[in-house]
Chains A and B, each alone.
Chain A
């Protein structure tokens, strides 16, 4: 049935993709499942190849330089002010008492104003946002980009801690592996400077290492714990505090080259043997000989392959793509593919598409703010404005690359539904901007097709203005959910 296919196409674009652009539903209606699978085979899918973008290390060094230059400017300004105060005081001493009273004390010189929007760091960030918006707005479906977002949130870092590396981190550690092997992504992530700084491993020192003996600083368990709890096995899956402790020792020496004084190098991964805890370590029933940086790689390779990791990842994927309460049959199907293929993420993504559950689970998964905001831009044919997108995400409680904690942004309705009022304000602003060039009925047809309920169609058609009709279309339950 053609109608069923059209409905399925619209469904797929919301559930697996980033929402239809005008024409998307028709474009994939002949074979929605095939179109999803075909997107995964497209060469370069998921990558951002933009020569203008700095690597995370370059961005970090540039940020360091800019910060240092601003600091020097401040020091000069302070010196100038002190000098001005001194001269004023001398002048007052030379005057009569009466005149001295009337003389104005030297006004504090205004500190040099730095427009935060104009800093090199901000410009770099906005370039990264522009590239990420393009990656989300241009593809017909956006299934691969949804996978990027999923993995970026799974292995999240925060701009609060690593302000200049977030975009580069995603491009370097996440994107190349979304359809590759989980173990490779894991290795890329845990060895990335952004993650090492975010979870404090760059300062973790083995107590019995050369550096540990010479200094009083020591071990930091943060990265080791989050790898096991959040990134691989999952919480309460059998590992012990001793495993965390020993794994942390294994990871000592995984640090970054400090971004100082060398324009060519800095803020890159480096294994510092002087910080590395010597000796074999036992992690989850296996003893790893001290092979330096290889010791950590060996542990990561094993936890990547652990069946608990397969189940953990499968559960999160099923929750993200199918339902807040993940269907157990889907979880098992995904976990089995993960186990059978040694964590081949393309095979896992394909299993998601060919399994019945993502197609049969009720269409009531509330879109996260970012999913809704991008779907909205796609629906009205917008190109997306980086600054506006960033501000909107902040208002909606999902600031880009800035989750509140290492577990990332929540993936269930309860965390987001109370933000519907803020979504309304944003929809209203967008509608004001585009009401002159788009028709609400067409947007409804393009974005939801047969998924739009009779009630929604009526509300949009009877709206008082095009702007109001657009707001109702973009706020309709069918558009808020996927």
Chain B
């Protein structure tokens, strides 16, 4: 009997152990199952967070708000708050809070708008300030550790009750430049119920939030800089306009008195009411020549400034260069007759060219005008054409004073007038800018220009080339067209 009782007791004991083991196993399974759900949530939360991070190059407030919203939506916590360091305000500025219906309800009752609340550095009791100052994660049961001193302890406690908060965890948010703020998580689990991996997730959140915030701050700064650049650009445009207006008015103002000097000295020289002495004629003609030079100089300087500012428009057309040369020859004939210089144009059948006729006219006047300046009485100026099927070369040659070897390279520079071969500026009447302008214009039309001379006293030849209007060239009309920067300006006339 005693043995059978013993067996029964032993059996019952064994059974009890089995039951206990079973219950423990059940509990463990439940834990594991619960952990799996939370794992799953955490993974989803991280995926959503990644998406926010990837698109975080935008407005800071929006990014931060999206991050705190992930916490209740995906982790199923009560909510989260992000506060960022605001040095100017001297503390942590509350930047975003999860917008759940329960939290919205509470926010309505708080007098200060949420994002205007700043927790001063002196509020060391505040858990976010403490976490930032100590650069460590902290856990607390009391929600009032977060809301104090903005809200009283009592109000904090009642909110905690309403939201059913049982534990709060704070992590500092770090960026490459140091600590940026802190993120605060509230959950309805007790501290013990929080799985270790959940703490890891929270920490991961804090790290990724740091990246997102830095991106958003960079973006904000970029926006600010872009705005500043746009403003600076606008101001430069205004200044440029002012400068243009000034140059335009100043050149007009300069030309008015110069025109008066020119007109009166011309009158004194050509329509005098007394007989002029030879000396008087010489003096007056020098006044006249110098004034004309001044006027030309103002015109050429305006032209240079317009070319350099890109204000000159190139509108290519198909035209006969021979006809244009004849026109220019007719224009310079009176001056050539006055100097008793002979003009000659080579007659050949020419294909049409593709260039801007007004600009070619300007170049021809410059080059032929130059030859006229440097060719003495009884000299000869010839214009000849050569073609290789792709370009036409226009050769302007004279038998004038010529150019020394060392001066050839300086010819096309601004004020590149030459001391060695070309006669002094005063008698030539040149501005020192004509060849620079010619080169610029030819190059704008995809041509080339060069000068050659056998040496001083042996004449000079200026050759420029322009594209022939072949179907291939004309088809690329866009390439040969140049639109002006800003308002298009015309060139001032060339004086010869």
A binds B: no
Residues of B within 8 A of A (CB): none
Residues of A within 8 A of B (CB): none
